[in-house]
Amino acid sequence: MKKLYTALTALLFSVLTTQLSAQSIMGVVTDEYNEPIPGVGVIIQGGNNATTTNFDGVYTFSNLSAGTYSISFEMLGYEEKVVAVDVTAGNTATLNVQLNPSLNQLDEIVIVGYGVQRREDVTGSIVSLDSRDLTDMPTPSFETAIQGKAPGVQVVTGSGIAGSGSVVRVRGIASISAGGDPLYVVDGIPITQDYFLRGNSGAMNNNPLASLNPEDIESVEILKDASATAIYGSRGSNGVILITTKRGNTGRAGEMKFEFSTRVGISEPTAMPNMLNTEQYLQLYEEAWYNDQALYLTNPELFSAAPPSGEPILPGGLSMEEARQNNTNWADELTRIGIKQQYDFALGQNGQGYNYRVGLTYDDQQSYLTQNNYQRLGVRFNGDINITENLVFGITTSLFQGLNNRVDEGWSGGLGAAMGTALPIYPIYNDDGTYFSGGNNPIRLRELKDWQQRELRSINSAMLTYNATDNLIFRATGSYDFMQLVEDIYEPQELIGSTHAGVAKRFPLQVRNWNANATATYLFEAAEGHDFTVLVGTEFQERRQVNGNYFNPVDSSYTNEVIDAQGPFFNNPELLNQLELDYTNQPGSGNTFASFFGRVNYSIHDKYLFQAVVRTDASSNFGPENRWGVFPSLGTGWIMSKEPFLYDNDVVSFLKLKASIGVSGNAAIPDNQWRATYGQNGSYYGQPITYQLIRENPTLKWEESTIFDAALEYGFLDDRITGEIAYYYKYTRDALLSVSLPRYQGFDNFWDNLGEILNTGVEFSITARPIVTNNFTWKVDFNAAYNYNEIASIGGYSEDAVSGGTNDTRVVVGQPVGTNFLVKFSHVDPATGRPVYLDLNGEETYTWTPDNRQAVGKVLPDAIGGITNTFNYKNWDLSFLFVYSIGGQVYDSSSKRQLGVVSDWNMRTELFDRWREPGDEATFPRLTRDPGVYGSNTPWINTDMWLHDADYLRLRNFTVGYNLPKSSLEGIGIDRMRVSFIATNLFVITNYPGLDPEIARDFENATDRNMSVNITYLTPPQERTFSLALNVNF
Amino acid sequence: MKKQIAKLTVIGALLLGGTGCSDFLDVKPEGVLLEGEAIQTQQDIENVLNSVYDVVANVYNGRIQAFGSLLGDNLNRPRSSTFMQEIYGRQTNIFNSDVSAVYLDAYRAVYRANWLIENIDLIDIPANRRQEILDEARFLRALMHFELVRYFGQPYGQTSDNSHLGIVIKTSTVRELVPRNTVAQVYDFVIDELTTVAQRLPETNGIFATKYAAYGVLADVHMQMNSFTSAAAYADSVIESGSYTMMTDFNRYEAEMNTEIVFGGFSFASINDNRGGSFNGFYRWDNQPNPNPEFTMDRNFYNLVASNPDDLRDSLWMAVVNEGSPNELIVQSKFNYDFIDVPIVHLTKLKLIRAEALAMTGNNLSTAIQDINDIRERAYGGSTQNLDAAAAATEVLEAARYERRVELMCEGDRGHELKRLGVLGEINTIRGADWDCPGQVLQFPAVERSSVFVLNQEGGCQ
């Protein structure tokens, strides 16, 4: 629409100038995305002829004499450009110019908690990403797109399961049992971000961020240090991620804007497992069988039981003959090329006294796993209206439905089964066409089980802003974040193997989360050059979680299932006819926060910056003795480039030194753990009993991190090179541990403030434009972050007091959070073929015992980062993002079964490098079916044999784009049209022998999530995608 | 400007003040009780005491007895459970969750007892009953300490001053990391507690703890210490009370049938509450078409009992199924009941204690002989195998030990008995391993280890 105006105007001008028979120059100035820029200063050099572009970016010079002109284009926030143009007699020269944004972000606005600041004035450490950073590639969930773009922010991309979430860590990890994820705040409300609402099912945790549409997001700011996070008080110590959704106020006044974008692509796994085929499996199985028989004759003491005599007996009771008839490649059967599609449409208007934006989205993301896809359908409306001149009412509202067609994966089935107990010797179908069920048949499970999870999510806020004067602003916001999860499972008779027709199950739950806050902001200049901004505010938040149960009036029972159902609830609504939904019967949980906060910013001549923040929080989750906490911070900055000695320096264009110190907390623990509670279930000899369920801990409080941060922001060569170097030191006290108490205390688990954790590190980022010409630019963004993490204390408890679920990571003083605590494997004894381990003194031993476990690795990397190269040539652009991780380990937990004692698990081809006869120098020991031969009485033993370096360099994103020239669009009323091709995860360079060196598996609880990233247990690898995208603005 | 600041101050005060925060911040958990709701009347305190008995009965539902039987020489290697095989093989490690579950439950009972002792005055209770509740709690607490110290420390007498490490004595609910107490300290504690409460506990108390229960445990404790005079005296005071009568049948574990129980864990059939579930799980074989119990009897032990044609116990308490075939099993029949009452202190055992203790001291042999003969007449269906009234002490001793082994088969006694004999120097090995090699004691759970708590020595009994 706007383009139409522009074209008409241009046409009109050109007609006029021609008629005047004088020479003219005219053209349109656009930005890097072909959006016209109004207000650009256009100056003919060597004279005093100057103008500015109008609303449509159009400028014109008339009454010129013929000749060559050198014209400069200047605009704040953009790099100056000087272009020469020839004007021939009697003609109008057209000179359209595209300006590149300046890397000098002095005037960039940054969202901080409860307000905005100029980037220049910020004393804290804040990374800003804009919407383009978040939508430049297809991701299962928006946070995945942050990877490699924000220094010090580790993003471990989720598995290949549709809708899976990533693990995000800001500057290492400062928590053990409390949630270690950053606090996510969407348009001012800390949203529900519980990954364990549905526990761990099908090898997946529900991802609470999946229902946020990346296309709705205007910007994401990541607050990293205390100066930035202290305003979030008891919840900021693992960083804060502020998400701001798009509003209608960014366009030019009055104009309607339309945006349409679509992306269509395919998904495939980044790696496929190398499992044995039937012939190979039988070969190794037979070898183990006969090995044992032979060894038993000479060394019966090694065996926990006498090996069976005679011919091999195969798993599933198959004979060798029957087994040879099958050769099922289960991994192939359970994967596919997934189709991904996404459509977004938005319209918005920045009107007189009002603005709005409406966005609609639909997408359907199939994963490469058969029958697994995630669909989103959503609408968002954001708007503001001036009720009076001083009073603005704003609203932010969204409604999303996420529909996840779930599958069993990992340890639960699917591709995980293909890497486990689904053996190649098993068929999919029996001869009569029925499903084979004599052994694990993941196809049978996948095809018979119906499993759907439907999420309804609505995040809303209403905001009233009163500008009492130009300097005094009051704002009140009320927000409501509603989440409803309904999980439906149907298992037909054949699967459950009972006389019932089938069992339909439904598990509904709701999380209701409301927040109200009010702030007052006052700006004043105490004296010339002494500017103050004062913010005070208060906030209240309440979260309730209610689990739904169905009441059956027939037998007065509560139930979540109907037996003898013909299909799942979602297809058979009549199943609900007999049932009443009750949300109050089950124990719910909830918490509240009440807070007061203030922030003072003081700037002296825009050169010396000071910020003081204090927040005081009270929470129902803290014990009464520590209910209120105070979280202060102080920050200071010095913009050295404004000092006389650097002012107008040719080399140094910007230099700012900043430092801050402060305290922030973490309160992400289960509700009401401080309070003694009692139960009365059961009886003894018919007598009632009463007993304590939770031990009282009246001193339970938040974790507290003291954070020091110092950084230098720099810009060189007129900001052709910009960046930041930062150092931080973060010491966490009173870290919350869900500690397995020594059993003599008489209690299993107990929440207490016990730990101390150190995180310290440096971050480096640089953005440079090595080449900038009129037609070609090359831009490089590079960042690197080094983090050192160490548990300084766990209050004297044992390494086993806090364990990372089933993942064999432990808390070890002097070692990082998530330490692999394993028995050391030394070598395979060439004489006997038995594995040799090392005890704690480094002595070799044939015996495996957990007492010889020691810290042998860590899941946290030393260094992470990313590098993006962007090339623009005329209308073409090409960019690619590499991400890397150095110094961490992967524990391939499932390989202890795939490469260990021969059992009913399939094995991997590496196992061919095994010991066979005395003198063999082999990677793997002699094959056996008896764990005793490996020196253990349990077959699944954890050793560092399964621990691998996880260093990798991955081509995360590769994009080629083409912006259609304006000239070809003008005629059809389109402002901008872009087509692009995007490939993700094209390759990864790593020495890791397993599937994918970057692993965010399913977790058991928050402790596990903190301690067991990069542990795999049959976790499906990430996906590789290829997409075509089209973006149209009109 | 000043006006603006004043205005700001007013607004700020409005924002900061006047909020009823304490209600807002008190979020009550649903579906559970808070202390004020749970403890309101005397009955609530009684219910807490019941919950201590509840846990104690769970400890004794066959689980803790299994360890004592496996460490002895009457059973075969367990057939499938890795954890149970570890106990039998005397190489438990910190991850043996069968061991840690029982250990935790025993201390759970201790915690509940301590909680009760610390909080009994939340409610006004008549002084007599108040003292009784406290004494019952202390009895149960001492009993748990005694059971644990026998499994997790080397036996009493292994060192001359018993300075070797036992378990943690826990007498408060305070959370603390503490070192293990010595075996001497634990036995002193147990004896002090039991003798104190025995003076006050009533002679009858339904199924709950009595004076005689405390005496019975004291007899057991002193026997374990090889303190024969005291053991005989305590056993004597229970037996001679006349409150308990010898059974004539062999269904010692059948619910509501045992007249010998001084203290036990009781089932409550009317609400389907069986307190011998683990006994059933380990041994029961009569309720399945193809018997497949986890624990089976050692052939030599079976032969020993069966070699005496008069002995009824080989056929009543044991059976050979699939005889002669590769899947032959010698199974245990003591626990073939749907509901089990578990005798913890009972007359047969007390008589065996008294007989052996008297034989060791050489005093009052006639009482010892009578005790043996009471048991023999039942076991052999008559007096054919009775000891002669003039039998020598050594003869009485041999008979007492033999009958103890057979009579208490699978009741968890054999391992402790053999260790005790090891202390006396009468045996050197148990199933081929030194009686006090490291694997003879169970390993503590992994989480016990702390900066002050030392685990048991690793290495089993090679």
Read off the pTM.
0.88
Mutation to test the B interface, candidates A687, A699, A846, most B Cβ within 10 Å: A687
The alpha carbon of A816 is separated from its chain's Cα centroid by a whole number of angstroms, namely: 22
Residue with tokens 């108490």: A741
Cβ contacts (< 8 Å) between A620 and chain B: which residues? 25-27
Judged by CB atoms closer than 8 Å, whether chains meet at A683 and B53 is answered as: no
Tell me the DSSP string of B304-320: HHHTSTT-SHHHHHEEE
pLDDT exceeds cutoff 90 at A197:
no
Judged by CB atoms closer than 8 Å, whether chains meet at B7 and A472 is answered as: yes
Interface of B with A in 224-283 (CB under 8 A): 266, 268, 270-271, 273
Cβ contacts (< 8 Å) between B447 and chain A: which residues? 740-743, 797-798, 800-801
Mutation to test the A interface, candidates B32, B167, B267, most A Cβ within 10 Å: B32
A364-396 core/surface letters (b: 16 or more CB in 10 A; e: else): bbbbbbbbbbbbbebbbebbbebeeeeebebeb
Query: What is the spatial distance between Cα A388 and Cα A829, in angstroms, rounded to a whole number?
Result: 85
ipTM entry: 0.91
Asked if residue B234 belongs to a domain, the reply is yes
pLDDT higher at B234 or B7: B234
Best CA proximity match to A789, nearest among A715, A728, A833: A728
- The pLDDT score that the predictor gives to residue A999 is 92
Q: What percent of chain A has pLDDT over 70?
A: 96
Cβ contacts (< 8 Å) between A796 and chain B: which residues? 177, 450-452
pLDDT in tens, B37-62: 999 999 999 999 999 999 999 999 99
**CA dist A23 → A11, A68, A94, A676 (Å):** 16, 12, 11, 88
pLDDT exceeds cutoff 90 at A98:
no
Domain extent at residue B258: 40-270+341-426
pLDDT exceeds cutoff 90 at A41:
no
Residue of B38, B89, B447 lying closest to A678 (CB–CB) = B38
Average pLDDT on A266-286 reads 96
Q: Are B210 and B136 in contact (CB under 8 A)?
A: no
Interface of B with A in 173-232 (CB under 8 A): 173, 175, 177-178, 207
Neighbours of B8 (CB within 10 A): 20
Q: Where are the domains of chain A?
A: 2-98, 269-339+826-1034
pLDDT in tens, A701-713: 999 999 999 999 9
pLDDT in tens, B396-431: 999 999 999 999 999 999 999 999 999 999 999 999
Alpha helices in B120-257 (DSSP H): 127-152, 183-200, 211-224, 228-239
- The pLDDT score that the predictor gives to residue B1 is 43
Query: What is the spatial distance between Cα B126 and Cα B132, in angstroms, rounded to a whole number?
Result: 10
What are the tokens at A681? 């279930």
> Identity (one letter) of the amino acid at A690?
T
Weakest mean pLDDT among A309-318, A777-786, A796-805: A796-805
- The pLDDT score that the predictor gives to residue A66 is 84
Asked if residue B211 belongs to a domain, the reply is yes
Judged by CB atoms closer than 8 Å, whether chains meet at A538 and B15 is answered as: yes
Closest Cα of chain B to A621: distance in Å? 8
Judged by CB atoms closer than 8 Å, whether chains meet at B4 and A524 is answered as: yes
Q: Are A518 and A476 in contact (CB under 8 A)?
A: yes
Weakest mean pLDDT among A591-605, A956-970, B182-196: A956-970
Nearest residue on chain A to B5, alpha-carbon basis: A522
- The pLDDT score that the predictor gives to residue A753 is 93
pLDDT exceeds cutoff 60 at A12:
no
Strands A109-112 and A115-118: antiparallel
Best CA proximity match to A208, nearest among A511, A461, A516: A511
Cβ contacts (< 8 Å) between B104 and chain A: which residues? 743, 746, 748
pLDDT exceeds cutoff 90 at B63:
yes
pLDDT in tens, A825-845: 999 999 999 999 999 999 999
- The pLDDT score that the predictor gives to residue A615 is 96
Average pLDDT on A247-260 reads 82
pLDDT in tens, A909-968: 999 999 999 999 999 999 999 999 999 878 888 999 999 999 999 999 999 999 988 778
Mean pLDDT of all residues in chain B? 93
Cβ contacts (< 8 Å) between A743 and chain B: which residues? 100, 103-104, 107, 444-445, 447-448
Average pLDDT on A432-455 reads 94
pLDDT in tens, B118-175: 999 999 999 999 999 999 999 999 999 999 999 999 999 999 999 999 999 999 999 8
pLDDT higher at A46 or A520: A520
Average pLDDT on A633-659 reads 92
Average pLDDT on A162-181 reads 92
Judged by CB atoms closer than 8 Å, whether chains meet at A746 and B114 is answered as: yes
Closest Cα of chain A to B79: distance in Å? 10
Q: What percent of chain B has pLDDT over 70?
A: 95
Which helix (H) or strand (E) element contains residue A632? Answer: strand A628-639
Taking every pair of C-alpha atoms in chain A, what is the biggest distance, in angstroms?
Answer: 112
Cβ contacts (< 8 Å) between B108 and chain A: which residues? 746-747
- The pLDDT score that the predictor gives to residue B17 is 47
Does B99 lie at the interface with A, CB-CB under 8 angstroms? Answer: no
Number of separate domains in chain B: 1
Helix, strand, or coil (residue B279): helix
**CATH number assigned to the domain comprising residue B401:** 1.25.40.390
Residue of A586, A687, A850 lying closest to B94 (CB–CB) = A850
Mean pLDDT of all residues in chain A? 90
Cβ contacts (< 8 Å) between A627 and chain B: which residues? 25
Q: What is the CATH number of domain A2-98?
A: 2.60.40.10
Nearest residue on chain A to B100, alpha-carbon basis: A743
pLDDT exceeds cutoff 90 at A594:
yes
- The pLDDT score that the predictor gives to residue A718 is 84
Residue of B12, B91, B107 lying closest to A744 (CB–CB) = B107
Asked if residue B188 belongs to a domain, the reply is yes
Nearest residue on chain B to A535, alpha-carbon basis: B12
pLDDT in tens, A356-395: 999 999 999 999 999 999 999 999 999 999 999 899 999 9
Bridge partners of A127, per DSSP, are A222
Strands B433-434 and B429-430: antiparallel
Judged by CB atoms closer than 8 Å, whether chains meet at A798 and B449 is answered as: yes
Query: What is the spatial distance between Cα A364 and Cα A377, in angstroms, rounded to a whole number?
Result: 9
Confidence of residue A589 (pLDDT cuts 50, 70, 90): confident
- The pLDDT score that the predictor gives to residue A64 is 83
Asked if residue B177 belongs to a domain, the reply is yes
- The pLDDT score that the predictor gives to residue B118 is 96
Best CA proximity match to B430, nearest among B409, B461, B459: B461
pLDDT exceeds cutoff 90 at A639:
yes
Q: Are A725 and A762 in contact (CB under 8 A)?
A: yes
